[in-house]
Amino acid sequence: MLSAAVPQAGVLGWPVRHSLSPRVHGYWLKHYDLAGSYEHLPVPPEVFEAYVRALTLHGYVGANVTVPHKEAALALCDDLDTAARTIGAVNTLIFRDGRIEGRNSDAFGFLESLRRAFPALRTSSGPAVVLGAGGAARAVIYALKTVGAPEIRVLNRTVSRAERLAEELGPSVIAEPLAPEALRDAVLLVNTTSLGMTGQSRLDLDLLSLPPASAVVDIVYKPLQTDLLRNAAAAGHPTMNGLGMLLHQARPGFEAWFGVSPDVDQDLRAAVLEGLE
């Protein structure tokens, strides 16, 4: 088949119907009046690599990658950026000149949303606490390292996973027991576990040891207001949910595929919130 005249992209996942990425990119394509398309691309793990290679031959300029393919995507790339290599996962594929380039924009998305939500926050001014030790934690820890967090405490139910992350990403990354005292003198607390998500158990963590001005982030966006954020706000902490990270992580891919550096504005937020309902 000949390449399509308009650049095509999409999000690869299994299942993927729930992904809000087509809404984000669809909004930008319309907003910037660009020719292009972005769709859900459901693909089971067994055929992931063959499917990606087929896309490169059929007018696709790239794709986002979500669960469960982020590691498989890393393995098939010809080129990787530092974030993807360090995080060990690819969420953005760019097809160019017969090569497959893999990037990870989750750390970028996290930092951009953080910067906008808390302009006065100095991540280099004190310890950060990260709850969880999965893929999302890796992205957040990598991000915090790049902005000079002097100490990143990783708290996880399965302590060995936190210890492994600390070993790999240290020496500023340390594993600590999942206990309230770990929040002492932290400037930032970030939940990357699935606790608090719709359908999961709630995250129960006493915030008393956290200094009152410290920011609390939950990268969950379903629901937008988790128990953690509600408790934090009630105790006077500035808070941020995961919607900003979701929107900002989409920017680098859009720019690479469609040639315009897109903005996250209120109308985009509204369009995506509609999809969340």
Output 59 or 134, the one with its CB closest to ligand ATR.
134
66 binds ligand ATR (CB under 6 A): no
DSSP character string of 61-129: -EEEE-TT-HHHHHHH-SEE-HHHHHHT---EEEEETTEEEEE--HHHHHHHHHHHH-TT--GGGS-EE
Peptide bond into 127 cis (omega under 30): no
**Looking at 124, 201, 225, 261, which residue binds ligand ATR (CB under 6 A)?**
201
Q: Which stretch binds ligand ATR (CB under 6 A): 53-61, 79-87, 151-159, 163-171?
A: 151-159
Indicate which single residue of 194, 230, 238, 273 sits in contact with ligand ATR (rule: CB under 6 A). 194
Site membership for ligand ATR, residue 195 (CB under 6 A) = yes
Amino acid at 193: T
Q: Which stretch binds ligand ATR (CB under 6 A): 12-20, 71-79, 156-164, 256-264?
A: 156-164
- 192 scored as a contact of ligand ATR (CB under 6 A): yes
Q: Supply the minimum distance, in Å, between the C-beta of residue 145 and ligand ATR.
A: 17
Closest to ligand ATR by CB, 155 or 272: 155
Q: Closer to ligand ATR at the Cβ: 196 or 262?
A: 196
Q: 161 to 190, contacts with ligand ATR by CB under 6 A? A: 161
- Shortest separation between residue 58's beta carbon and ligand ATR, angstroms: 30
Helical spans, DSSP H, in the chain = 21-31, 48-56, 70-76, 82-87, 106-117, 135-146, 159-169, 227-234, 243-248, 251-258, 266-276
For position 160 contacting ligand ATR by CB under 6 A, the verdict is: no
Taking the C-alpha atoms of residue 181 and residue 159, their distance in angstroms, rounded to an integer, is: 16
Q: Does residue 70 have an active-site annotation?
A: yes
158 lies in the site for ligand ATR, by CB under 6 A: yes
Give yes or no for a cis peptide into 7 (omega within 30° of 0): no
Shorter beta-carbon distance to ligand ATR: residue 45 or 259: 45
Residue with tokens 């949910």: 241
Residue closer to ligand ATR (CB basis): 122 or 157: 157
Does position 246 interact with ligand ATR (CB under 6 A)? The reply is no
Q: Which residue is nearest to ligand ATR (CB)?
A: 134
Which residue, 82 or 158, has its beta carbon nearer to ligand ATR?
158
Preceding amide of 15 cis, omega within 30: yes
CB 235 within 8 A of CB 207: yes
Whether the CB-CB separation of 188 and 121 falls below 8 Å is answered with yes
User: Does 136 sit near ligand ATR (CB under 6 A)?
Assistant: yes
Q: How far is CA 189 from CA 9, 58, 106, in A?
A: 34, 44, 17
- Shortest distance, CB of residue 55 to ligand ATR, whole angstroms? 24
d(CA 105, CA 276): 22
- The residues carrying an active-site annotation are 70
State the residues that interact with ligand ATR by CB under 6 A.
132-137, 156-158, 161, 192-195, 201
